[in-house]
Amino acid sequence: MAEKKALIIFFGIFISVQAQTMRYNEPIKQEAVDVCRRTTGMYFMASSLACVPCPNNTTVRPDGLGCMCPIRSRIVRDFGAGNIECATCPDRMVPSSTGYNCVRCPNDNFDAANNICASSACSGNQAILTEQDLLGNWYTNGSVLEKRCQTCNDETQANAARDRCVKCTNVFPLTENNSCTCQNSYGGFCFPTSDIDPKIQSSSLNTIKGTNIESAFFKDNLIAAYIMCSKYDNSTACQVLGNMCVLILYDYTAALSNTFSTVCDCYFDVLPAASKIWPPGKPWLYYVESDKRAMKSSDIIIDPMITTQYTFDPASYLQYRVARYNLNGQYIDTSDMFSRRFQLCVDTNKRANAAFRFGTYYKQTCTISALDLWDTTKYPLEFFDLYLKVTTNGVDQLLAIPINILNFKNTDSDNRASSAANWLLVRRFFLVDNQAMIAEGSRSQPAVMVRYAKSIQIVVRLQDDTTTGLIYPPYFKIDYSTVTRTDAVNGASVDISFEVTYTMTQTKYERDFQIAIGTLSTLGVIYAGYRTWVWSKRSGRPAIDFPSIINFIFFVSGSLSNVFFVVSFGLAFYWLVFFKRQSVVFLVHPENQALTDWLGLFAAAFALKCLELIHMIVMQCTVDIFLIDWERSRGAVSVDAETGKRREIPVSIWRTYFVANEWNEIQTTRKINNVFQIFAVVFFLLVVGFENVTTKDPLGNVVKDATDFKADYSNIFRYGTAVCVYLVIGVIQWIFFVFIYERFVEDKVRQFVDLCSMSNISVFIMSNNHFGYYIHGCSVHGKADTDMREMFVMMKKEEEDIVGKRGLEPGSDQQTFMIALPKKLRQKYELVIGQARLESAAAVARTEQGKGGRLIGTITEKQVEAYKAMNSFFTSFIDNSLRDIRYVVKDKTFLETIMDTEFLDSTEKGIFYKDNGHSFDQVLFYVEGPRTWQERPWLMSASSFKCSNQIMLLDSSPAFSELLKCPSASIIGTT
């Protein structure tokens, strides 16, 4: 077996020392075997993928991979490929079978037409035309070598060429050794003792890294490959030695040493000391300096030498070319990477080739049976040198692509480090090694374990500070893993992944991101401070206290959540639109730190928005609402059933209860139908297919072919698309509600104001201690507790405009106001209501302690008395008949309206500010204006991450609506 492998190595590819050299990161002209064949006198050098001329007096071999001597020329020396020298034979003489001598035909039987010995020179089935006897002596005729006819004996027979009797040995003796005795036999070769380096004879070199397996292949071929490569520049042997180094994942001793610790140390030993120049005839494996130190990775992967422009429209493809070699160092071919060649996962060619469309974030994962990896037909062991086809000045060239083997680590390099500065980049890789780990002691058995490429990631980076679609050299990240034969037989499976990602410098983005966040956050904090000042002023707090600080924190939360929403949505919308619509590529999907920053911003905005919603609900639930009943008793009297005393018939409480109930109903009135909003968004995203726009690829199609590859969804793109769809549908609903539904169907807020007028009930809303809203519901008829006939007559009078206006001021229709309350009014309110609450609480406590008492009667009497007192007080205040507590009615200034505050002092005299007819809806959960627009998109945007559909449904659920009705709010006049 070893002797057969030796013949493959020896008769393989040889590379001439005279060939061109290859420099790091220097593109080479794209050549192929057929191209070289079409050029006279040129052969294809497999190690450098270039066409090289044959020496003088030689011709190109039929396979195009080397040179040979022409007809009637003998070999002077031949070390393969173009390293050959020939000499022309004398007239009527032909080259010997070895090619190294010239011989005469028997009986001068020369075929001048074909320059060979005539076919009739020898007769008989066992006759051969030979040049040497069994002892190896040449037949001569005088001083001239000649061929003679011989007959093979019974134990041998003529070979197909009829130039010798077989059997014969396949051991190769070196030409300078005149003896057939083999001094040192390694891998089927015979070497002189002077060629044997003691350093190469260590048995530890045959052990695969990370295992205790002594490789049969290493034992058979390592020494022979090392000697043939180092002593005789045999290119095939150098390829075999390089392949062995790749199989142990490039493990080598970082410092220069006189001993060989690994196969890769043997490989470094055959290289001449040269910096950044790879010698001809040797496989290019490492990006290292002459002292074996790793080259600076930034010099390799951040080199702006590629001038090929990549675009989305028309679609550009990364045209990778790969040179393939087998385990024995033979060159197979140079081909492209299409058709699933590097993807162990099974898929269609159409989907697999999508990995190379520029801008497509490709990811394919699968699980395959581990036992399949031992199938050498399905997964042959091949080695790959990767190139990228680029165009420079109109000429196609091949640029070497670096490889980052993540499993590599030594004292100087760690290829899993996040910083590329610590990487050691290499050139060659394999997919599945199912041969090297066939153990020496069990050659007839399958490999003990298989090493396979668990994950392959292609990283493409745009060049910095350019918008013309230029890239740096791409690089591969490969992570290898192993699986044992025992585990495979027991049914183990392995996970495989193939991924393509794109990146770009984030310096400009980070600067813009920081400026936007810093500037807007500063404005947001200032605005929160201003809102806290307004709240403190309306609450009557003369100085900064603990409640002011707590409210400031919540106001800051709301302001920053809005800021973060604007920035996060702005970035998402920018990336979505410009990534999908760009022609010449200048923008890729954010990755790594940029994506982390955005996700952090989104999470912070969502959390802060939740705090703002909680604060808003708490503020609504702590509003004091007093229902002022203007109805007066008719003067009729009745006899009390219990006391027998005569008293006036009381005014009915049902009108007040009815108004309070309607207030609770409109607390959750929205200008957007939640159910329609959610279903419309889901319909457009999932049914129409807007979700398909959010994939991480250049395609912006809403409808995609099922046979096409579908990239992963981008969280950022989904967020931007979901919020856009949500906002558009919301705006359409808002426009419909405001301009059509409220005008032609019903306006529940204004209907509530009409209800108050018809019920003769005014609503006094104190959202803060010294600020609130007022709905003037005093009936122009002076009464509302009447029968249907009289109610109809009163409405008829109003229709005919023969009664006064409903407004607070004479001749005015203005019924709603924002009010700045005087201090004495609030003190009076708290005195009466607070005392009633304290007495009610005391009565409850006495009952709970078992002291007895008429609990219900006590509480009711105190509340009724308090209500009557406050009702009388408020009616007097509204009528402006209190001597020391008065108010004025006026319009807010333009600046006050914009800033939502009041500049005038209302400590002594209250101010009723005319509003737009529904300012009191600020204490309702009523979608109005930009303040609450953000709350809904946040709930919707969270759904783009598939983690908060419950929140969306809760937002539109009856239970949540009931919660927002704030049953804990104080509605005085309904108890």
Report whether 95 contacts 101 (CB < 8 A).
yes
pLDDT band at 601 (very low <50, low <70, confident <90, very high): very high
* Alpha-carbon gap, residue 224 to 229, rounded angstroms: 8
At residue 716, the pLDDT reads 92
pLDDT band at 232 (very low <50, low <70, confident <90, very high): confident
Distances (CA, A) of 575 to 40, 74, 578, 591, 880: 54, 69, 5, 12, 60
**pLDDT reading at 945 higher than 50:** no
At residue 381, the pLDDT reads 95
**pLDDT reading at 642 higher than 50:** yes
At residue 144, the pLDDT reads 85
**Residue 353 φ then ψ, to 5°:** -75, -15
Instruction: Provide the terminal-to-terminal Cα distance of the chain, rounded to the nearest Å.
Output: 104
Kind plus residue range of the DSSP H or E element containing 949: helix 949-955
Sequence-ordered alpha helix ranges (H) in 806-852:
823-848
Distances (CA, A) of 763 to 159, 414, 910, 969: 119, 74, 17, 14
pLDDT digits (tens, 9 = 90+) for 450-479: 999 999 999 999 999 888 899 999 999 999
**pLDDT reading at 568 higher than 70:** yes
**pLDDT reading at 948 higher than 90:** no
Report whether 115 contacts 131 (CB < 8 A).
no
Share of the chain above pLDDT 90, in %: 34
Q: Which residue has the higher pLDDT, 645 or 530?
A: 530
Q: What predicted TM-score, i.e. pTM, was given to this entire model?
A: 0.76
At residue 159, the pLDDT reads 67
At residue 960, the pLDDT reads 44
At residue 968, the pLDDT reads 43
At residue 566, the pLDDT reads 92
Kind plus residue range of the DSSP H or E element containing 876: helix 855-878
Query: Average pLDDT, whole number, for the chain?
Result: 82
CA-based nearest residue to 359, from 678, 61, 585, 647:
585
pLDDT band at 847 (very low <50, low <70, confident <90, very high): low
Distances (CA, A) of 434 to 3, 262, 345, 382, 483: 22, 20, 17, 10, 10
pLDDT digits (tens, 9 = 90+) for 552-562: 999 999 999 99
At residue 790, the pLDDT reads 85
**pLDDT reading at 749 higher than 80:** yes
Share of the chain above pLDDT 70, in %: 83
Q: Could you write out the DSSP letters of every residue in 192-243?
A: -GGG--GGGG-GGGGBPTTS--BBHHHHHHHHHHHHHHHHH--HHHHHHHHH
* H helix count then E strand count, the chain: 24, 41
**pLDDT reading at 282 higher than 50:** yes
Q: Which residue has the higher pLDDT, 933 or 178?
A: 933
Lowest mean pLDDT among 449-453, 618-622, 685-689, 896-900: 618-622
DSSP state of 474: P
Per DSSP, the three-state class of 679 is: helix
Lowest mean pLDDT among 703-707, 806-810, 949-953: 949-953
pLDDT digits (tens, 9 = 90+) for 423-447: 889 999 999 999 999 998 888 899 9
CA 801-763-888 angle, 5° bins: 75
Q: Which residue has the higher pLDDT, 503 or 706?
A: 503
At residue 257, the pLDDT reads 66
At residue 636, the pLDDT reads 58
**pLDDT reading at 630 higher than 80:** yes
At residue 835, the pLDDT reads 79
pLDDT digits (tens, 9 = 90+) for 241-273: 999 999 999 988 766 667 788 898 888 888 876
Q: Which residue has the higher pLDDT, 960 or 579?
A: 579
Mean pLDDT of 718-734: 91
**Residue 970 φ then ψ, to 5°:** -85, 110
At residue 631, the pLDDT reads 87
Mean pLDDT of 735-739: 90
* Alpha-carbon gap, residue 798 to 775, rounded angstroms: 19
